[in-house]
């Protein structure tokens, strides 16, 4: 995926996870860590989602450190 910082195979920090993401528009592909709430599975992510409050269930990879030094997550797909 273009623009995606791949997970570090030796570090084990970045991984694919389900989450609820707070985002005003679903056109973004990466999110600051403070906008992402990790869930243990897809069912929990979908149950915690609230589109009226702009909280959407997603499959994400991260966290990764951006060039600005922030922790970010990348969108794999909305669920």
How many structural domains is the chain composed of?
1
Residue 9 within any structural domain of the chain: no
Q: Which domain holds residue 69?
A: 15-78
Residue 6 within any structural domain of the chain: no
Residue 66 within any structural domain of the chain: yes
Residue 68 within any structural domain of the chain: yes
For residue 13, pLDDT over 70 is answered with no
Beta bridge partners of 59: 18, 77
User: What's residue 32's pLDDT?
Assistant: 95
For residue 31, pLDDT over 80 is answered with yes
User: What's residue 41's pLDDT?
Assistant: 97
Residue 61 token pair: 């990879």
Give the lowest-confidence range in 3-12, 28-37, 55-64: 3-12
User: What's residue 6's pLDDT?
Assistant: 56
User: What's residue 67's pLDDT?
Assistant: 84
In the chain, % helix, strand, coil (3-state, to 5) comes to: 15, 45, 40
């Amino acid at each position: 995926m273009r623009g995606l910082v791949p997970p570090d195979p030796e570090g084990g920090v970045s991984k694919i996870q389900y989450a609820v993401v707070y985002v005003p528009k679903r056109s973004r592909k990466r999110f600051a860590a403070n906008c992402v709430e990790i869930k243990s599975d897809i069912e929990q992510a979908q149950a915690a989602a609230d589109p009226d409050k702009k909280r959407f269930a997603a499959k994400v990879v991260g966290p990764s450190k951006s060039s600005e030094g922030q922790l970010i997550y990348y969108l794999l797909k909305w669920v």
